[in-house]
Amino acid sequence: MFKPHVTVACVVHAQGKFLVVEETINGKALWNQPAGHLEADETLVEAARRELWEETGIHADPQHFIRLHQWIAPDRTPFLRFLFSIELSETCATEPHDDDIDRCLWVTADEILNAPNLRSPLVAESIRCYQNGNRLPLEIVAKFNWPFTEGANGGGA
Report whether 13 contacts 87 (CB < 8 A): yes
Name all domains of the chain by residue range, CATH numbers in brackets.
Answer: 5-141 (3.90.79.10)
Per-residue pLDDT at 153: 52
Task: Report d(CA 66, CA 121) in Å as an integer.
Answer: 16
Blockwise average pLDDT, block size 10, the chain, 157 residues:
95 98 97 96 95 98 97 94 98 97 98 98 97 94 75 49
Per-residue pLDDT at 142: 87
Report whether 60 contacts 85 (CB < 8 A): no
What confidence tens digit (pLDDT) does each residue in 47-78 have?
999 999 999 999 999 999 999 999 999 999 99
Residue type at position 141:
V
| pTM summary value | 0.91
Report whether 79 contacts 70 (CB < 8 A): yes
Per-residue pLDDT at 134: 86
